[in-house]
Amino acid sequence: MSLLQFSFIQTALRLILRHPICGVVMVPVLEDGRIVLVRRRDNNRWSLPGGMVEWGEDIPTTIHRELQEETGLKVHQIGRVVGIYSAPKRDPRFHSICTTVEVMVRGQFCIEDKGEISEVGAFLPDQIPMTELAHDHRQQLADYWQGTTILA
């Protein structure tokens, strides 16, 4: 391997490994107004469903895929963007930039990704276990209820 090839590989790895990961989080709202949360296996905390945008996907595709994998529900309508969250420590696993989107959902609960999700539940706003939420999802829900779009 030449010095030029090594330099190129080193630069490429730095670009790949030293940049935030892009993800999407959903505020899934059932027809009766309840909000759907999932219980994560890694920390046993409740969370808004979501995940990383995969190579070749756009955000709407990620929304449909992640909602199906984590809850079994189908997207009826994509609503408003709640916010874009980019604080380096918002997710304890890695630096991620998260676009949070409201989605109207339908269907029956069926967890496909049982390695990541242990439980799905639907909560009226005043019943959400706010002190048991993962990552910055407490802030994301507060921003959702406030009705504005946040850049944080």
**What pLDDT is stored for residue 62 in this prediction?**
98
For residue 13, being part of any structural domain is answered with no
The residue range of the domain holding 123 is: 20-151
In this prediction, residue 115 has a pLDDT band, given cuts at 50, 70 and 90, of very high
For position 60, which CATH number holds? 3.90.79.10
Give the chain's domain count: 1
For residue 1, being part of any structural domain is answered with no
Contact residues for 72 (Cβ-Cβ < 8 A; gap 6+) = 107, 108, 109, 110, 111, 112, 120
**What pLDDT is stored for residue 95 in this prediction?**
83
Whether the predicted pLDDT of 20 surpasses 80: yes
Total-model pTM: 0.88
For residue 6, being part of any structural domain is answered with no
For residue 103, being part of any structural domain is answered with yes
For residue 10, being part of any structural domain is answered with no
**Range with the lowest mean pLDDT among 17-26, 41-50, 142-151?**
17-26
**What pLDDT is stored for residue 4 in this prediction?**
66
For residue 46, being part of any structural domain is answered with yes
Whether the predicted pLDDT of 139 surpasses 80: yes
